[in-house]
């Protein structure tokens, strides 16, 4: 008698016990946990018995509900930003090579660069310079000393593709920081991103965090140049717009007078149209909140800032962001930011060069605040204020969300919601009910077939099949995998495949009995001879499943995960678990016939 059955019996017992151990947290979460425990992972973990792993399998969007989004990346903005960087590089390069020019402009809302040469500069030398150092630009129009340049098509396509790829990466980082288990984030078409967030209870907050551009810039305010706004006539201003002025001690003790306008939010476009022709090409109009006494903001009102359009430093250099609370006012929260080593040097130099000037902190195109630089700031730290008053908890949540998007990185271009759909619990429950019905009907039919066709041996195969299901779910819980409708289809398919190994073994046993072997010899020979066939057939299916899991996404990946886990579990139950029962009966000399 082969004494190896002791080890097999011990192994099967341990695996079955481990499966129950791993499945309990999932059972508790979906059957007994309160709503509060489901929403707070720390409370869920604390509610489990001591020593129990805080791991469970997750339900996909189609089973538990959540948020389904399709977001379009505004790739044309990424191309415009590329043109901005090229224009800045061109200015620096022409200065370095002593090629005189009057100005290098990047007209708003276009991806073109307009280069205006000085009268003494030779056109031919500039063309040679452009071909050598800026080969990704082409001359679209030429008029005497003015060159209109465009980015070549291959480069435009590369910038657009990179913007979408980077957006996917950033969105995935943000979804991870939101605590969403196995979100589906994939490219759809040329410039859209599919986002599925299972289990998200607050879709508006999720959309705000996922879709926020989070482009952080520090720009110097050119308060002195706002004197040109004195020429704006009051009758030209939009309705309910007021002209204001503010004086302060600027660099060298010089008294600076700043002219600005306070306006309703709806008048922004009109003010931009009115003021832009009066300012230099390297300046822009910015808007920020109107501060009242006590630090509170005027609701629905904005004020203008005249900014250098080139940022002194951007959020690309951030290394950390944290929520802080004002000890003097508990309802006042703000976000502190730290720059990396290179960013700290840039920030220190920027503040040293602009002492006694305002520096605007611009987040997603809106001036958050514009404090005066009192002195050089070393250490590379700054803060974003969130105003005062109002709901303290809402302020704290706003600060948390802001740190989340700053840590995850800025999107390379703005995004817009093209499709928004919230999958509710009702749809999820219907899907679970229908999937469970298919699962039980499929399982029952397989059990009945094995029982009728193989009789007593069919009972063993059915026992192995019933053990197979909790093993699959336990493995998914251990790896915190997501179970979706396609995943349930994979389990149903695995059930049909699970008995296939036993069918091969039983047919081998029949052949051995026909040639006159004893029951014990038929069992041993049946398992030994069937092994290679079972292994080959399952490995080929497993290879296909691994490829689907590696390169598939969404439903395809969900199906592949359960299929692969099911194949491994079915091989264990069919070959090891059923063999243990035969060995146990043989050991007690109770096996007189196989009944197949």
d(CA 366, CA 297): 14
d(CA 565, CA 497): 12
Give pTM, 2 decimals: 0.66
At residue 171, does pLDDT exceed 50?
Answer: yes
Mean pLDDT of 10-25: 90
Q: Where are the alpha helices (DSSP H) in 291-424?
A: 341-353, 392-408
Question: Would you state the pLDDT for residue 267?
Answer: 92
Residue bearing tokens 């190896």: 4
More confident residue, 516 or 117: 117
What is the rounded average pLDDT for all residues in the chain? 84
d(CA 465, CA 455): 15
Question: Would you state the pLDDT for residue 433?
Answer: 74
Sequence-distant (6+) residues with CB within 8 A of 194 are 69, 70, 184, 185, 186, 187, 188, 554
Pairing mode of beta strands 482-483, 58-59:
parallel
294-326, pLDDT tens digit by residue?
667 788 899 999 999 888 888 888 888 888 887
Pairing mode of beta strands 318-325, 216-220:
unpaired
d(CA 76, CA 88): 19
CB 63 within 8 A of CB 481: no
At residue 1, does pLDDT exceed 50?
Answer: no
372-408, pLDDT tens digit by residue?
888 888 877 887 776 655 567 777 777 787 787 777 7
At residue 22, does pLDDT exceed 70?
Answer: yes
484-528, pLDDT tens digit by residue?
777 777 787 787 777 888 888 888 888 888 888 887 888 888 888
Question: What DSSP line would sit under 165-209, residue for residue?
Answer: HHHHHHHHHHHHHHT-SS-EEEEETTTEEEEEEET-S-HHHHHHH
Mean pLDDT of 57-83: 85
């Amino acid at each position: 008698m082969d004494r190896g059955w002791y080890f097999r019996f011990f192994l099967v017992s341990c695996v079955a016990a481990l499966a129950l151990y791993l499945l309990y947290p999932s059972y508790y979460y979906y059957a007994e946990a309160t709503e509060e425990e489901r929403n707070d992972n720390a409370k869920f973990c604390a509610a489990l018995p001591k020593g129990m792993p805080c791991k469970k399998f997750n339900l996909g969007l189609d089973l538990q509900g959540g948020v389904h989004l399709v977001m379009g990346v505004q790739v044309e903005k990424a191309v415009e930003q590329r043109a901005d960087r090229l224009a800045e590089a061109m200015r620096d390069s022409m200065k370095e090579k002593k090629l005189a020019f009057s100005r290098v402009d990047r007209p708003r809302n276009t991806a073109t660069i307009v280069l205006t040469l000085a009268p003494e500069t030779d056109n031919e030398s500039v063309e040679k310079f452009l071909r050598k150092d800026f080969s990704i630009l082409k001359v679209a129009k030429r008029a005497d000393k003015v060159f209109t340049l465009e980015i070549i098509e291959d480069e435009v396509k590369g910038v657009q593709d990179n913007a979408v790829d980077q957006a996917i990466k950033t969105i995935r980082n943000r979804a991870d920081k939101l605590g969403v288990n196995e979100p589906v984030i994939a490219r759809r078409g040329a410039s859209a991103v599919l986002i599925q967030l299972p289990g998200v209870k607050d879709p508006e907050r999720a959309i705000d965090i996922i879709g926020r551009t989070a482009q952080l810039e520090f720009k110097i305010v050119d308060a002195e140049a706002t004197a040109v706004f004195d020429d704006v006539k009051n009758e030209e201003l939009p309705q309910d717009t007021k002209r204001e002025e503010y004086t302060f001690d600027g660099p060298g003790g010089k008294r600076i007078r700043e002219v600005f306008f306070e306006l309703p939010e709806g008048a922004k476009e009109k003010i931009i149209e009115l003021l832009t022709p009066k300012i230099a090409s390297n300046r822009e109009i910015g808007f920020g909140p109107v501060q009242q006494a006590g630090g509170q903001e005027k609701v629905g009102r904005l004020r203008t800032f005249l900014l250098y359009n080139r940022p002194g430093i951007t959020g690309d250099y951030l290394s950390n962001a944290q929520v802080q609370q004002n000890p003097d006012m508990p309802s006042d929260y703000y976000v502190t930011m730290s720059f990396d080593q290179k960013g700290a040097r840039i920030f220190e130099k920027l503040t040293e060069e602009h002492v006694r000037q305002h520096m605007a902190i611009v987040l997603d195109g809106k001036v958050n605040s514009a404090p005066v630089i009192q002195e050089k700031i070393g250490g590379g730290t700054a803060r974003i204020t969130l105003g005062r008053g109002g709901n303290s908890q809402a302020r704290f949540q706003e600060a948390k969300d802001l740190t989340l998007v700053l840590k995850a990185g800025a999107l390379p271009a703005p995004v817009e919601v093209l499709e928004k759909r919230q999958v509710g619990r009702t749809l999820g429950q219907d899907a679970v009910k229908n999937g469970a019905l298919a699962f039980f009907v499929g399982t029952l039919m397989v059990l009945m077939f094995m029982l009728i066709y193989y009789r007593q041996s069919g009972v063993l195969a059915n026992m192995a099949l019933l053990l197979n299901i909790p093993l699959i779910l336990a493995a998914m819980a251990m790896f915190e995998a997501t179970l979706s409708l396609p995943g349930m289809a994979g389990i149903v398919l695995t059930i049909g495949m699970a008995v296939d190994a036993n069918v091969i073994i039983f047919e081998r046993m029949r052949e051995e009995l026909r040639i006159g072997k004893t029951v014990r010899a038929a069992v041993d020979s049946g398992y030994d001879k069937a092994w290679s066939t079972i292994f080959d057939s399952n490995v080929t299916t497993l290879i296909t499943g691994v490829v689907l899991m590696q390169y598939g996404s969404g439903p395809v990946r969900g199906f592949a995960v359960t299929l692969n886990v099911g194949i491994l579990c079915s091989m264990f139950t069919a070959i090891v678990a059923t063999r243990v029962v035969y060995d146990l009966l043989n050991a007690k000399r109770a096996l007189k016939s196989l009944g197949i």
